[in-house]
Amino acid sequence: MALPDFDTVAARDGTPLAVHRMGEGTRGTVVLLHGLFSNVETNWVKFGHAQKLADAGFALIMPDLRAHGHSGAPHDPACYPPDVLVRDLEDVIAHYGLVEYDLVGFSLGSRTVLRGVLDGLEPRRLVLTGMGLEGLAGWEKRAEFFRDAIDRFDEVRMGDPAFFAVSFMKTMKVDRTAARLLLGSMADTSREALVAATMPTLVLCGDKDNDNGSADALAEALPDGRRATIPGTHMSSVSEGALGDELVAFLTA
């Protein structure tokens, strides 16, 4: 399926954000955020998840994150203040004047939508895909892994723990300077902070996905969390049709 045309939305610092849209919205609006080093096409469009949601009656708003996809990737450190991705999400929501909407994220996108809720966003429903409790409370350790992969990019070989991260960066043609700056804009999220996420929340992970820790523990820590499992690892679960099916089932219930 072809990637939909995109709008260009200016973030508050002027960085252009590419926002892809699909669907008519008879059931409402869903904002979807993709994962680290990925983009809208890879996470949401390529394997049909976006089309399933659009066919179910949702209008979709899908930004390429800063330093990803068709969005700007500035090299100025001043463009990466704390929680810049949350600020960008808030700017996209404000640009479209959204009042009632659902939030869905995958991996880094999950981390971002959740921190957006902790910052005051009030979606009707929340979906955290590819995320566990340690990926939030222990984010700094995870970020250091990716910074190391970027720093050793040209020397990493098969068998190195960073091999698959480097391979994915090569496939996605990641701007490593911008990506490293972006990683420095993020902080840990404590388990105690999760009590503020009171809306119905689905924690959706592959049965072999432990990259971000325990999805069960995350669902248990949320006031209205529930758990769903699909086949796959952190990387392969995105290609499973079950991902789109579970999104539709939860958001239409």
| Distance between CA atoms of residues 104 and 146, nearest Å | 23
Report pLDDT digits (tens) over 148-187: 999 999 999 999 999 999 999 999 999 999 999 999 999 9
pLDDT score for 2: 56
Is it the case that residue 87 has pLDDT exceeding 60? yes
Using the structure block, give the residue that is written with the tokens 């892809």: 20
Report pLDDT digits (tens) over 208-241: 999 999 999 999 999 999 999 999 999 999 999 9
pLDDT score for 4: 63
Quick one: which of 140, 129, 142, 143 has its CA closest to 35? 129
Q: Are 98 and 32 in contact (CB under 8 A)?
A: no
Report pLDDT digits (tens) over 50-60: 999 999 999 99
CATH number of 6-134+193-252: 3.40.50.1820
What is the pLDDT confidence band of residue 38, given thresholds at 50, 70 and 90?
Answer: very high
pLDDT score for 1: 52
| Domain layout of the chain by residue ranges | 6-134+193-252
pLDDT score for 5: 78
Q: Are 165 and 146 in contact (CB under 8 A)?
A: yes
Which residues contact residue 159 at a Cβ distance below 8 angstroms, ignoring those fewer than 6 apart?
Answer: none
